[in-house]
């Protein structure tokens, strides 16, 4: 079977690109014939370039008949999916919907490009008269629109021959709007063989490389820093922890999106003990994972995304605290620690940090359970 594998790929700065770079070789190892079609101007580097034929997305239309399946990996950024989106609407295939929230994608395609009528039509297509009225109210009066109520996945689902999602949560949301969709839940692929569980020696070496205290309690969060990552509660809980453990450290690893809002959070909760690294290359990212005692991976609201960073942390045996919501709630109790999305979020998070900091055996047990979950 020949598959046109259409996706962002390295060197694009994209979580889906990183995922696709791991998935494509795995699919090829099963005997499938894979050709890559990439967004962006730059073709993928070795080893992908050595193993696969790689062409720009724009070349697929003329070659679509050469393939049994067109496999699209779609996310919520027009920057990384513009060519693919137009193509899949014209040439339907199988879509891996990495999140059901596509509002930003379609808003950038229409409203941000000066096509207000196109935005209204997309809202109408997805949500009927309710969507049309909400879009008109936004345009006419600047009345705020809750984009999480209108994720705008409907057109993509309707044009797809089949849809894959990575969680039951995402599947239920899609099926609530499109009950006839041909949809399957496919677990997010984690190559646990490529991730060595962190041991004491690796942690000590990573801390030396990052100039972190050998015996301090180190908390970390990984991934694109957005308001949905709940850094406010995390920073508040960490500030409480430092009252008892003034040598504690908090690594915030990832590119910061809303810089002014994030700066305000740091000002409100204090920068003491906090290090913001920005996006790191792969080797430095691995060192940061190895250096931390505990990670936090909070989320609200959620668009049905599965966190690659979270699964990497679990594979590395790092005990991780998550929000009890969306796909995160599908991880078994014990494999992660959970915090609610209510008034108890910050105090419960602070209590969990206290417990983990005081009990290495607890950290080891939760870390081992997380590793078993993804194996």
3-state secondary structure of 233: helix
What CATH number was assigned to the domain covering residues 192-374?
A: 3.40.50.2000
- Stretches in the chain below the pLDDT threshold 50: none
| pLDDT for residue 191 | 87
pLDDT in the model for residue 305: 94
For residues 364 and 205, give the distance between their C-alpha atoms in angstroms, rounded to a whole number: 18
317 neighbors 289 (Cβ within 8 angstroms): no
Strands 162-165 and 337-339, sheet pairing: unpaired
| pLDDT tens per residue across span 280-316 | 988 999 999 999 999 999 999 999 999 999 999 999 9
Could you check whether 2-102+153-185 and 192-374 share the same CATH topology? yes
What pLDDT is attached to residue 372?
Answer: 97
DSSP secondary structure of 85-123? HHHHHHS--EEEES-S--HHHHHHHTGGGT-HHHHHHHH
Peptide bond into 301 cis (omega under 30): yes
Bridge partner list, 73:
96
- Residues 309, 42, 32: CA angle, nearest 5 degrees: 65
Q: Is the dihedral of CA 165, 171, 174, 179 positive or negative?
A: positive
pLDDT at 14: 87
What φ, ψ does residue 38 adopt, rounded to 5°? -115, 145
Residue 240 has what pLDDT?
A: 97
- What size, in residues, is the chain? 375
Strand order, beta sheet including 218-222: 274-278, 249-253, 218-222, 294-297, 320-323, 337-339
Angstrom CA distances, 312 to 218, 295, 309, stand at 18, 11, 5
For residues 137, 142, 146, 152, the Cα torsion angle rounded to the nearest 10 degrees is 60
- As given in the structure block, the two tokens for residue 96 are 């891996």
DSSP 131-193: HHHHHHHHHHH-----GGG----HHHHHH-SEEEES-HHHHHHHHHH-TT--EEE-PPP--GG
Q: What is the pLDDT of residue 117?
A: 98
Which residue in 209, 203, 166, 188 sits closest to 316, CA to CA?
203
Give residue for tokens 């193509």. Answer: 87
Closest by CA to 220, choosing from 137, 320, 150, 136, is: 320
CATH code assigned to 2-102+153-185: 3.40.50.2000
Domain ranges of the chain: 2-102+153-185, 192-374
Question: For position 310, what pLDDT does the model report?
Answer: 96
Tokens of 186: 């496919």
List the one residue out of 147, 127, 8, 146 whose CA is nearest residue 77.
8
């Amino acid at each position: 079977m020949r598959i046109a594998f259409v996706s962002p790929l390295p060197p694009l700065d994209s979580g889906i690109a990183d995922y696709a770079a791991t998935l494509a070789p795995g699919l090829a190892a099963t005997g499938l014939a894979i050709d890559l079609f990439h967004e962006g101007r730059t073709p993928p580097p070795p080893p992908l370039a050595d193993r696969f034929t790689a062409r720009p997305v724009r070349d697929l239309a003329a070659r679509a008949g050469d393939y049994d399946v067109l496999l699209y990996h779609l996310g919520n950024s027009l920057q990384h999916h513009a060519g693919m989106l137009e193509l899949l609407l014209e040439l339907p295939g199988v879509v891996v919907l990495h999140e059901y929230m596509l509002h930003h994608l379609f808003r950038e395609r229409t409203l941000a490009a000066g096509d207000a009528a196109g935005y209204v039509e997309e809202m109408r297509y997805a949500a009927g008269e309710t969507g049309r009225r909400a879009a008109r109210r936004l345009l006419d009066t600047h009345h705020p629109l809750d984009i999480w109520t209108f994720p705008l996945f409907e057109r993509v689902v309707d044009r797809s021959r089949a849809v894959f999602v990575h969680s039951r949560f995402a599947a239920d949301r899609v099926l609530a709007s499109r009950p006839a969709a041909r949809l399957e839940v496919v677990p997010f692929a984690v190559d646990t063989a490529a991730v060595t569980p962190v041991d004491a020696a690796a942690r000590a070496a990573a801390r030396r490389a990052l100039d972190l205290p050998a015996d301090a309690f180190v908390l970390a969060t990984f991934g694109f820093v957005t308001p949905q990552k709940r850094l406010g509660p995390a920073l508040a809980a960490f500030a409480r922890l430092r009252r008892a453990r003034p040598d504690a450290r908090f690594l915030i690893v990832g590119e910061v999106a809303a810089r002014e809002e994030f700066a305000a959070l740091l000002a409100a909760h204090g920068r003491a003990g906090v290090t913001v690294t920005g996006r790191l290359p792969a080797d430095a990212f691995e060192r940061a994972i190895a250096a931390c005692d505990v990670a936090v991976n909070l989320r609200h609201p959620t668009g049905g995304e599965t966190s690659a960073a979270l699964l990497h942390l679990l594979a590395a045996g790092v005990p991780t605290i998550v929000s009890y919501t969306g796909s995160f709630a599908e991880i078994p109790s014990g494999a992660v620690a959970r915090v609610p999305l209510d008034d108890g979020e910050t105090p419960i998070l602070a209590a969990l940090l206290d417990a983990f900091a005081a009990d290495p055996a607890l950290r080891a047990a939760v870390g081992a359970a997380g590793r078993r979950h993804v194996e």
